[in-house]
Amino acid sequence: MSHTDETLAAYDAIAGRYDELNARMDTSGLADRFAEAIARHGPGGRRLLDAGCGTGRSSVAFRERGFEVTGYDLSPAMVALARRRPGAEGIPFLTGGLEDPPPGLTGFDAVACVDLPMAYLTGEDGLRRALEAARRRLREGGVVVFDLNTIGYYRRTFGTPAVADQGDRFVTRFAVSPRIEPDSVVVTQFDLFERTGERWERVSMRHVQRHRSGRAVREAAEAAGLRVVAAHGLAGTELRDPPDEDEHDRVLYVARRPG
Ligand SMILES: C[S@@+](CC[C@H](N)C(=O)[O-])C[C@H]1O[C@@H](n2cnc3c(N)ncnc32)[C@H](O)[C@@H]1O
């Protein structure tokens, strides 16, 4: 199975429980940081492509901040939920991959990849291909904004196996990769055990991501015809400057199409 197929299988399998399992993620705070970056570095318009929109949480957050949103995602099951999300009425939701987006999307002021869609691009050339695809969907001066995990986050979070005990639900996670190295693929195994009555149900999935150093991101952006104009560390949803690959959880990148 390819890494993309593993990602698709993982999100299709978990789609129905995604919002609940991910309830602690502050999508609203993250959308604020993205919107601020777009206001500061973008061309001023409000047309936004939410690439890797999942169940539409980020799409609705952007709409609430005054953007005219189109969303797409790799997982048809996630897209089906986005279409039913309260507050998302009228937002077009499509299915497609970051490296090969749905046809007919052009002239956006911003492409936003919120909460790690770009981290799932594991191929050596995957980020460049996705950034190039995003550039083709932007008007001149438009920006791609995306977040990626730091190496420190991968090591802290997946370096040792962990179990979350929530009574009738246990979630276990551990890194399958023997070592977690910069600019390398990190394979994490998640197992979700849920009790219904006397029966326990198990859902297993692998999340295959790739860490990218700031240098690798800049090189990929340049090769895609974009320039990284800002990089901020993220601690939760608070910005920290300059980004620190050991200390911070994520880095928020802004790459601009010239013009
Ligand atoms: C953690 S979720 C974030 C969803 C949404 N942006 C939000 O903030 O709620 C990551 C999403 O990225 C999507 N994704 C992963 N790899 C992708 C790819 N190659 N192309 C498009 N979407 C992808 C997954 O299907 C998943 O819905």
Provide the CATH number for the domain around residue 203. 2.20.25.110
Pocket of ligand 1 (CB under 6 A): 4, 7, 11, 27, 52-54, 57-58, 73-75, 78, 97-98, 114-117, 120
| Predicted structure pTM score | 0.97
Residue 109 scores a pLDDT above 90: yes
* Residue 13 burial class via C-beta count within 10 angstroms: exposed 0-12, middle 13-18, buried 19 and up: middle
Asked whether residue 68 carries a pLDDT value surpassing 90, the answer given is yes
Residues 125 and 224 in one domain: yes
State which of 74, 79, 100 you would mutate to test the pocket of ligand 1, scoring each by most atoms of that ligand within 8 A of its C-beta: 74
Domain count along the chain: 2
Q: How far is the CA of 247 from the centre of ligand 1 (A)?
A: 25
pLDDT tens, position by position, 179-200: 999 999 999 999 999 999 999 9
Please compute the mean of the pLDDT values over residues 114-130 and round it to a whole number: 97
Q: Do residues 119 and 188 both lie within one domain?
A: no
> What whole-number distance in Å separates Cα of residue 256 and Cα of residue 66?
21
Reply yes or no on whether the pLDDT at 178 is more than 90.
no
Q: Residue 104: which CATH number? A: 3.40.50.150
pLDDT at res. 25? 95
Contact 129, 110 (CB under 8 A): no
Average pLDDT score over the chain: 96
Angle, helix 57-64 to helix 27-41, in steps of 10 degrees: 50
* Angle between helix 76-83 and helix 3-21 axes, rounded to 10 deg: 30
